[in-house]
Amino acid sequence: MSGIRTTVLPNGLRVVTDPMAGVESVSLGVWVGVGTRDERPAVNGVAHLVEHMVFKGTRRRSAFDISEQIEAVGGHLNAYTTREHTAYYVKILKEDTALGLDIIADMLQHSVLDEGELARERAVVLQEIGQAEDTPDDIIFDHFQATAYPDQGLGRPVLGKPEIVEALPRDALVEYLTGHYSGQRLVLAAAGRIEHDRLVELAEAAFQALPEHRPAPRERAVYRGGDYREERDLEQLHLVLGFAGVGFHEPEYYAHSVLSTLLGGGMSSRLFQEVREKRGLAYSVHSFTGSYEDGGLFGIYAGTGAKEVEELVPVVAEEICKVSEDVTEDEVRRARNQIKAGILMSLESSMSRCEQLGQQLLTFGRHLGPEEIVTRIDAVDAGMVRQAARRMRACTPTVAALGPLGKLESHDRIAARFA
């Protein structure tokens, strides 16, 4: 990846490329450094709705034109919204690079946001919200997030609240686009059969109508923790138990990644072995980390039966406590190898490399090469993992549960298990 180059255009747009020999395609996209946490509470869901609406027609292209022109050359166009970023990306053959870039630039600068299309797309997003609500192992993570970060941007749902989404006016979308999609917040990333200077030339011509930059400091993330429970008539209880994690810029970031991997990151992990293999308490159990600009979360998800939860919670708590005391260097080595293998294998995909470039420039302001990341992972030892687990145990836990709640311990009782 030594061929990576970055150019900053006069309007602030960063263009970064990662050439790959031996491929005939290009993955490219625009990563925008705003997401759900950048919304005002009164327009929760506007970032996601904007992401939908830019596909619904521009001054030069109808919604059908956008999809038809990409698919006519065998390409794939998509987008997603997170709490801190929004991305629009395409994978195409190398000879169609200019077309893919032009379509994305057109969508982000010249969308008409037609009122009729907006009414239909509001209905589509409301269906998406309803689908999430009907998927307990999906929506439980929104409840977990809201309980960990109450009354702040990081705690609000990416899809938005139904009562807000169904009333969002066109003006709110225009305000969000013009207020947030400036060149300084955009990264154009590309990987594959790409020439950097040619992409810079195309970008200079395509991105001439970006709005003026308006500084908008983010609300500071403040982890609170707490308890959310919703009784539902389900076969399983869906449970997320978590704690304050670390942000991308904190020194303990990689130690938390190793901790998550050895605790619940695979079939050989402690939780999988103890909860599923030895005791049969859950079909699905895993740990995860979620990092942000200035904070993060560490969590464990389990789907378990109404009776089994009575034993499962003490077992999970015990494993978390044990990992803060008796982690071995062999365990840490295996976890490090899992993480490194995942990173290095992802380099075989142009889309993964493109996405890494976009996210890294937004998060760190520069590209982090695999050698640098692997060095940081290799620096994690057992003592650092134990310290990360102890730090985690010291905060108020977050408990989110959905399903039959009868045998789930109180929040105070669960919290006492980590004292």
Mind telling me the catalytic residues?
51
* Residue 250: burial class (beta carbons within 10 Å; 0-12, 13-18, 19+): middle
CB 4 within 8 A of CB 17: yes
Distances (CA, A) of 14 to 8, 31, 54, 176, 258: 4, 10, 21, 21, 32
Longest dimension (CA), the chain: 63
How far from chain centre, in Å, is Cα 179? 22
Please enumerate in sequence order all residues whose Cβ is within 8 A of that of 372, keeping only pairs 6 or more positions apart, or say none: none
Say how far apart CA 294 and CA 147 lie, in whole Å.
17
* Residue 299: burial class (beta carbons within 10 Å; 0-12, 13-18, 19+): buried
Say how far apart CA 293 and CA 363 lie, in whole Å.
7
CB 221 within 8 A of CB 346: no
Pairing of strands 76-81, 226-231: unpaired
The pair of structure tokens assigned to 289 is 């980390």
Q: Which strand (E) or helix (H) includes residue 127?
A: helix 115-133
CB 399 within 8 A of CB 228: yes
Q: Which strand (E) or helix (H) includes residue 246?
A: none
The pair of structure tokens assigned to 340 is 């490194």
- SS3 assignment, position 152: coil
- Any idea how long the chain is? 419
CB 364 within 8 A of CB 248: yes
Rounded to a whole number of angstroms, the CA Rg of the chain reads: 23
- SS3 assignment, position 49: helix
How many C-beta atoms surround the C-beta of residue 418 within 10 A?
A: 18
